[in-house]
Structure 1
Amino acid sequence: MTSRAEQRVHHPHRRRSVKRRALLSGLGAFTLTGAAIVSSSMLSSASAATWPTPTSSQPVSSTISVSGVRDGGMVRYYGSGALAGDGQEEGQDPIFKLADGATLKNVIIGKPGADGIHCQGSCTLQNVWWEDVGEDAATFRGGNSAVYTVYGGGAKKAADKVFQHNGGGKLVVSKFAAQDFKTLYRSCGNCSTQYKRVSIFNTIEVTAPGSRLVGINTNYGDSAALRNVTIIGDSSRKIVPCQKYIGNNTGAEPPTNGSNPDGTHCNYTSSDITYR
């Protein structure tokens, strides 16, 4: 999919107290149709060390296929046997593979995490947590009409990427936490088949260290919108909110193409990001 070299590459000032209250309110308990209630303590865990405690642990030696809705009941799933990898080796299999239209919810992916989750088409990941990201947390592989939804949850210790977008379509991530990561989201920079990719991030809290929030390809028309993002522990502001690249379909390492908000590719303003 992506070359290893690429993957490794792959205000007006609001009062902080007001925006913080808004963030905590957004991270409070919520209910989705057909879903269990997710507690505020689970969703606010980005700003504290209190991530969900698994109800039990289950080794996974071969990829679990999901169609329809699968509720994991907050079980921790971790790789074993052929899925025991937790490094950045290319071509690892995922713990879960979701068919087009599938939903996976209330799941913890432990260590080793292999290649996390693959969405073969449109999918929903609700309240999914990665304790130690392997190759990637989730990879999105659908076509141009695919819509991928990530609602709640979080990821830690992503040596490379959290979300890898290899297919087409739109990714919407809401109420998500990330700690100790390199790249939160990357639109594939050198896949053999390229697409225009759209991503939206709303109510996100990330904790340093980190390198960039999103990486997109301007020459393919990608866009990334950032709304209500809080960055913790980055007083020198080294984390790049939106890195632009010139992608290709040859496997070559893509060069960068600036990082300033432009309202088209990198769609955010300084008021959309709070540092604390």
Structure 2
Amino acid sequence: MTAPAEQRVRHRRRVTKRRAVIAGLSAFGIAGAAIVTTSMLSTASAASPWPSDTGSKPVSRTIPVSGVHDGGMKKFYGTGALGGDSQDEGQAPLFVLADGATLKNVIIGAPAADGVHCKGSCTLQNVWWLDVGEDAASFKGRSPSAVYTVIGGGAKNAEDKVLQFNGAGTLNVSGFQVQNAGKLVRSCGNCKTQYKRTIMLNDIDVTAPVNSIVGVNQNYGDTATLTKVRIHGDSRKKIKTCVRFEGNNTGKEPKELTPPGPDGRTCKFAASDISYR
């Protein structure tokens, strides 16, 4: 989106002023380039700011989406039957997407119920969750060729999972940020029907406290690939990057396999793909 003229003018003034300051410092033998580099690194070390809504819209019945639904950056929140924010299983979502649908430019407030459900391939673009209910989004397609794409956006205040992968296929998440959550992505560990699932995470900001970034079922052939993951506020490196599980289809709690981290088969990434800020 093109910035307003007034905003561009302010930006040019800041740049001109900064250049003038650097030139003045250089005259006194102070390296201006070092100052610019430090400033840029400081800005890059923080996750992007969260957007403001353009208005609020209560949702008392699940909104079905086919084709493209552009929310115009309004904040949608549950009311009535969708007014819950617990971790109870089986809650209805605020939005349910048909196969091939796109939901974009939406802020989901509280109560959030069970967020968004995708029945097949779907795209979530610039969708933000302020206070995750049961899950932020659940992916439920049954075809191994299903592709779920999450571009931009973010979620915070999730007691457990943010993105729940129950179905088959591939989940691609890029440009996303998560704060104060249990898990960013979890491949279902005890669904009645299990599948091989592929998870691709790229350009992700994770801000502590978070328990783990991704959890996958090794015994069902799941894979998780992580690239350009930035972890903020975790100097002791307590956040688990990739956790392998022995999943089941009986409803029992899945067994966590140790140690967490890359193994080259199920959890695919190198140390250089994770950075700490």
Q: Normalising by structure 2, report the TM-score.
A: 0.83
Whole-Å separation in 2 of the counterparts to 1:178 and 1:59: 24
Unaligned runs of 5+ in 2: 1-36
Partner of residue 62, structure 2: 63
AA partner of residue 205 (structure 1) = D
AA partner of residue 63 (structure 1) = T
Same amino acid, percent of matched pairs: 61
Deviation at 1:260, TM superposition (A): 3.0
Whole-Å separation in 2 of the counterparts to 1:127 and 1:211: 24
Deviation at 1:240, TM superposition (A): 0.3
Asked which structure has the greater RCO (Cα within 8 Å, sep 6+), the reply is 1
Secondary structure (helix, strand or coil) at the match of 2:88 reads coil
Secondary structure (helix, strand or coil) at the match of 2:81 reads helix
Partner of residue 133, structure 1: 132
AA partner of residue 123 (structure 2) = T
Which of structure 1's runs of 4+ aligned residues deviate more than 4 A?
A: none
Partner of residue 190, structure 2: 190
Secondary structure (helix, strand or coil) at the match of 1:211 reads strand
Deviation at 1:145, TM superposition (A): 1.5
1:8-19 matches, within 5 Å, as none
Whole-Å separation in 1 of the counterparts to 2:223 and 2:51: 32
Q: State yes or no: 1:223 paired with 2:223.
A: yes
Larger relative helix fraction = 2
1:47-62 matches, within 5 Å, as 47=47, 50-62=49-61
Partner of residue 175, structure 1: 175
Q: State yes or no: 1:206 paired with 2:202.
A: no
Partner of residue 110, structure 2: 111
Deviation at 1:264, TM superposition (A): 1.4
Whole-Å separation in 1 of the counterparts to 2:114 and 2:261: 31
Q: Normalising by structure 1, report the TM-score.
A: 0.83
Partner of residue 158, structure 1: 158
How many residue pairs get aligned? The number is 237
Question: What is the aligned-residue RMSD (CA, Å)?
Answer: 1.7
Larger Rg, first or second structure (1 or 2) = 2
Deviation at 1:222, TM superposition (A): 0.2
Deviation at 1:257, TM superposition (A): 1.4
Deviation at 1:250, TM superposition (A): 0.4
Whole-Å separation in 2 of the counterparts to 1:90 and 1:123: 22
